[in-house]
């Protein structure tokens, strides 16, 4: 009988311990050095075992932080009011956001149409990564009419929350007018940001939020990691004039 490779035995041991609850979803595994000392092998062997667990989706590495047990998919409701922090917190996980870009530029044709702006009107653009328990959940881009919210970027820098920043700019509430979902594969940049393999499944959400008078205030695009989130639609959405269209076409 062929001898079982050491890295396979280590992967099987860790897989069993995860299944038995010794390491729970979201927990960080011991470091490579600690696992090397525990099993009496070199780091290359441990790295091979961890890579096998990552390929199976059992664990996921976070650059500079370690290797973590993959958490269950996060329920993310799509209803009349979609609030990232509230949605993630309601699922029992800790939400956070990392802002990667803030700038003011002319609107694209699609952005101007969605926000009912003149062609080339100035818009504020905020991009970043949404995380749950430190794990990247989605990449987002939010676009706002600059003339209506001149101080939005400064408010975002202070708040790191779209809802809080809009409130600071005088908009106390807003609702979702439309959400369109498209299945797509992760390109190399999105895959790197979300800590996925290129080609991994994503769900792209393109949405428009409006104020109480129905005037658009935000055009948002979000790329969700397909295996980390379960998007749910509020059954009362139609009565709230909330529309969700699902498309399987190319991105």
**pTM reported for the whole predicted model:** 0.69
pLDDT in tens, 197-225: 788 889 999 999 999 999 999 999 999 98
Positive or negative torsion for Cα 124, 248, 129, 214: positive
Token pair recorded at residue 115? 């926000």
Residues 162, 29: Cα–Cα separation, whole Å: 33
With a cut of 50, say whether residue 246 has pLDDT above it: no
DSSP string over the chain? -PPPPHHHHHHHHHHHHHHTTSS-TTPBPPPHHHHHHHHT--HHHHHHHHHHHHHTTSEEEETTTEEEEPPPPEEEEESSS--HHHHHHHTTS-EEEEEEEEEEEEPPHHHHHHHT--TT-EEEEEEEEEEETTEEEEEEEEEEETTT-TTHHHHHHHH--HHHHHHHTT----EEEEEEEEEEEPPHHHHHHHT--TT-EEEEEEEEEE-TTS-EEEEEEEEEETTTEEEEE-TTTTTTT-EEEEE-S--
Residue range 74-247, CATH number = 3.40.1410.10
User: Could you give the residue range(s) of every CATH 1.10.10.10 domain in the chain?
Assistant: 6-69
CATH for 6-69 (3.30.70.100, 1.10.1060.10, 1.25.40.10, 1.10.10.10): 1.10.10.10
pLDDT in tens, 132-158: 877 788 999 999 999 999 999 999 888
pLDDT in tens, 149-190: 999 999 988 877 888 899 999 999 999 998 898 999 999 999
Residues 145, 219: Cα–Cα separation, whole Å: 9
- pLDDT value at residue 151: 95
With a cut of 90, say whether residue 5 has pLDDT above it: no
- pLDDT value at residue 60: 82
pLDDT in tens, 36-87: 999 999 999 999 999 999 887 788 887 778 898 876 667 666 667 656 667 7
With a cut of 60, say whether residue 243 has pLDDT above it: no
Angle at 234 between CA 232 and CA 237, to 5 degrees: 135
User: Could you give the residue range(s) of every CATH 3.40.1410.10 domain in the chain?
Assistant: 74-247
């Amino acid at each position: 009988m062929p001898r079982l490779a050491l890295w396979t035995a280590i992967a099987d041991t860790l897989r069993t311990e995860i299944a038995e609850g010794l390491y729970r979803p979201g927990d960080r595994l011991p470091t490579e050095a600690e696992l090397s000392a525990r099993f009496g092998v070199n780091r290359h062997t441990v790295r091979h075992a961890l890579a096998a667990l990552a390929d199976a989706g059992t664990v996921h590495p976070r650059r500079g932080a370690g290797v973590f047990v993959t958490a269950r998919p996060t329920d993310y409701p799509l209803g009349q009011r979609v609030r990232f922090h509230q949605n993630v917190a309601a699922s029992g996980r800790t939400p956070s956001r990392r802002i990667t870009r803030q700038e003011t530029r002319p609107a694209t044709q699609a952005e101007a149409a969605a926000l009912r702006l003149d062609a080339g009107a100035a818009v504020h653009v905020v991009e970043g990564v949404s995380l749950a328990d430190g794990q990247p959940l989605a990449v987002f881009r939010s676009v706002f009419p600059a003339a209506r919210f001149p101080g939005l970027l400064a408010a975002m820098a202070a708040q790191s929350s779209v809802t809080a920043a809009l409130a600071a700019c005088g908009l106390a509430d807003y609702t979702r007018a439309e959400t369109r979902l498209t299945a797509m594969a992760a390109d190399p940049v999105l895959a790197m940001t979300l800590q996925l393999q290129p080609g991994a499944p994503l769900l792209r959400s393109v949405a428009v939020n409006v104020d109480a008078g129905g005037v658009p205030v935000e055009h948002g695009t979000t790329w969700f990691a397909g295996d980390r989130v379960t998007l749910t639609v509020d059954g009362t959405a139609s009565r709230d004039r909330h529309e969700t269209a699902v498309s399987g076409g190319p991105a």
